Structure 1
């Protein structure tokens, strides 16, 4: 029988993602991983016409998923570490500020063929079940990781796909009133993050089904 592969979040010392400083291994795998992609276009001078859309580039991808921590004993093997300790371990790897960089760690989310490189941009933890003495026995973490674009060259993209991976440079904004590529990227990232509540609700419904 094949060994069950567990999702791992590895802390990396820099954006080369090759030097690890710690890791968090899930006790319960997520039901799915969602990777959101987008493409940025602009309309020169704000006037739409045939063939007028200008490609400005592709902003970083956004990975989102939910993790369940269960200490009730209902799920075999999930309660070997206390729920509150699992939450603290996750926060230390992905969220806490570390002195070396004065920032949270770069992280790699690895599960099966997926190897996503980036940084945590959102962590919502719901504490949902307690014993009568107040001991936490169930929690759920909703996680969003923004892709860190790797250097050009042969290797793996942030989504774990073998390629000669280079982000398209896109067209430069030359007309008055055009949006800059950086501005378009920022707007699209905000739109990607706006989808998180829906993703969280869908994942929560599946976990409770």
Structure 2
């Protein structure tokens, strides 16, 4: 009787490393209690950082040439949505563009349709004068952004040229926001122009 020796199947090193990685990832699980505690701690830390950041914005706007429009449109979204940016880039590198677009566009929709009206309602409850009034620059920026995004993702495809167009649009809005005057400067500019037009009209 011939005994056939037991032979292990030959597995390449790359496949073995992938199997070990999957086994290691499957073992790394967080309990529900730990996840909730981590979420509460992270939310509290984010709230503290946001409070410190908001308190520092007026001082920064007064002692620098950076306008409030640039701070609100460029600096705060980059800092506040850093985690979402990392998530979108990570899933995009894994060739999951639908998920990357969902993360990026979904965040903007959430801010525009949920967070902003909720903040205005909370402002009314707390006695703060807050409205949904946007100046002409903010309105045009919002309209152009929504139009460009809708036009580019309508066909469900993307390429490097469309990505370059999006980056160029973002840079244009950022430059315009950097040189956009604040409310006080707008009032002074409008008042001086209006006075000059009135003087010329009266004097003929």
Q: TM-score range by the shorter chain?
A: under 0.3
TM-score by length of 2: 0.27
TM-score by length of 1: 0.26
Higher helix share: 2
Higher strand share: 1
